[in-house]
Amino acid sequence: MNSGNPSPPSLSKGKGEDRKFITQRDKAKSPCPTCPEYRERAFNQRFPKRDILPKSIFWSFFGLSLGLYLLAQSASANSWADPFGVNARNPSMPGITASQPSDFSLITPPPHNKNQLSDTQHPYTLAGLSALALQNNPQTRVAWASLQAQAAGVGMAESAWLPKINLSLSAQRAQITSSSGYSIPVQKTLSPNVSLSWLLWDFGQRDASINAARAAQIAARFANDQTIQTVLAGVANAYYQSLADRVLIAVNAQSVKTARNALDAAQARYRAGQATISDVYQARAALAAAQGTLATAEQTRRQNEGTLASSVGLPVNTALVLAPLETLVAPKLQADVQALLQQAIAQNPNLQNAQALTHQARATLDQAERAGLPSISLNAGQGLRYQQGLGSSQTNSLGIMLTVPLFTGFNPHYQTAQARAKLNQAEATRDNTYQTTELAVWQAYYAFQGAVAGMPSAQAQVENATEALKALQAQYNVGYATIQDLLTAQSTLATAQVTLAQDALNAYTALAKLGAAVGQLGTPSFSDVTLLDPTQQRERDGAPQPLGIPASPPTTAQLAEPPTFSSPLNVLAEPITP
The mean per-residue pLDDT over the stretch 410-425 comes to: 93
Q: Which fold has domain 163-201+373-407?
A: Outer membrane efflux proteins (OEP) (2.20.200)
- At 556 the three-state DSSP class reads helix
Q: Distance between CA 82 and CA 401 in Å, rounded?
A: 49
Q: Distance between CA 186 and CA 164 in Å, rounded?
A: 36
Confidence of residue 196 (pLDDT cuts 50, 70, 90): very high
Q: What is the pLDDT of residue 243?
A: 86
CATH H-level superfamily of 212-362+417-558: Outer membrane efflux proteins (OEP) (1.20.1600.10)
3-state helix, strand, coil in the chain (%, to 5): 60, 10, 30
Instruction: Please determine, for residue 104, whether its predicted confidence score (pLDDT) is greater than 70.
Output: yes
The mean per-residue pLDDT over the stretch 126-132 comes to: 85
The mean per-residue pLDDT over the stretch 437-446 comes to: 94
Confidence of residue 147 (pLDDT cuts 50, 70, 90): very high
CB count in 10 Å sphere of residue 243? 27
Mean pLDDT (the chain, rounded): 78
Q: Distance between CA 573 and CA 556 in Å, rounded?
A: 42
Q: What is the pLDDT of residue 481?
A: 85
Confidence of residue 433 (pLDDT cuts 50, 70, 90): very high
Confidence of residue 113 (pLDDT cuts 50, 70, 90): low
Confidence of residue 98 (pLDDT cuts 50, 70, 90): confident
Phi, psi of 392 (to 5 degrees): -120, 155
- Cα→Cα distances 150→135, 231, 397, 569, Å: 21, 21, 38, 50
Instruction: Please determine, for residue 291, whether its predicted confidence score (pLDDT) is greater than 80.
Output: yes
Least confident residue range of 63-77, 396-410, 444-458: 63-77
Instruction: Please determine, for residue 417, whether its predicted confidence score (pLDDT) is greater than 90.
Output: yes
The mean per-residue pLDDT over the stretch 207-220 comes to: 92
Instruction: Name which residue leads in pLDDT, 482 or 63.
Output: 482
Confidence of residue 569 (pLDDT cuts 50, 70, 90): very low
- Cα→Cα distances 475→258, 269, 465, Å: 15, 13, 15
Single-letter amino acid code for the residue at 112: H
The mean per-residue pLDDT over the stretch 209-229 comes to: 92
Instruction: Name which residue leads in pLDDT, 2 or 160.
Output: 160
Instruction: Name which residue leads in pLDDT, 2 or 189.
Output: 189
Give CA 226 to chain center in angstroms: 14
Q: What is the pLDDT of residue 275?
A: 83
Least confident residue range of 44-48, 67-71, 97-101, 342-346: 44-48
Q: What is the pLDDT of residue 30?
A: 52
387-398 per-position pLDDT tens digit: 877 778 888 999
Instruction: Name which residue leads in pLDDT, 245 or 425.
Output: 425
Instruction: Please determine, for residue 360, whether its predicted confidence score (pLDDT) is greater than 50.
Output: yes
The mean per-residue pLDDT over the stretch 354-368 comes to: 93
Q: What is the pLDDT of residue 265?
A: 87
Q: Distance between CA 337 and CA 343 in Å, rounded?
A: 10
Instruction: Name which residue leads in pLDDT, 339 or 31.
Output: 339
Single-letter amino acid code for the residue at 396: N
Confidence of residue 505 (pLDDT cuts 50, 70, 90): confident
Confidence of residue 13 (pLDDT cuts 50, 70, 90): very low
In a 13 Å sphere around the CA of 248, the CA atoms on its Cβ side amount to 26
Instruction: Name which residue leads in pLDDT, 227 or 177.
Output: 227
298-334 per-position pLDDT tens digit: 999 999 999 999 999 888 888 888 876 665 667 778 7
Instruction: Name which residue leads in pLDDT, 306 or 178.
Output: 306
Ordered by start, the domain boundaries in the chain are: 163-201+373-407, 212-362+417-558
513-556 per-position pLDDT tens digit: 888 888 876 555 555 444 444 444 333 333 333 222 233 333 33
Least confident residue range of 2-6, 391-395, 408-412, 568-572: 568-572
Which DSSP string do the residues of 346-415 spell out, in sequence order? HH-HHHHHHHHHHHHHHHHHHHHHTTTS-EEEEEEEEEEEEETTTEEEEEEEEEEEEE-----TTHHHHH
Could you tell me which residues come within 8 angstroms of residue 237 by beta carbon, excluding any fewer than 6 positions away?
311, 509, 512, 513
Instruction: Name which residue leads in pLDDT, 575 or 62.
Output: 62
Q: What is the pLDDT of residue 74?
A: 58
Instruction: Name which residue leads in pLDDT, 537 or 497.
Output: 497
E runs forming strands in 93-140: none
The mean per-residue pLDDT over the stretch 180-202 comes to: 84
Instruction: Please determine, for residue 166, whether its predicted confidence score (pLDDT) is greater than 90.
Output: yes
Instruction: Give the β-pairing of 391-403 and 164-174.
Output: unpaired
* Residue 313 and residue 136 in contact, taking contact as beta carbons nearer than 8 Å: yes
The mean per-residue pLDDT over the stretch 136-162 comes to: 92
Burial 186-217 (b: 16+ CB within 10 A, else e): eeeeebeeeeeeebeebeebbbbbbbbbbbbb
Instruction: Name which residue leads in pLDDT, 63 or 419.
Output: 419
Instruction: Name which residue leads in pLDDT, 188 or 52.
Output: 188
pTM for the complete prediction? 0.70
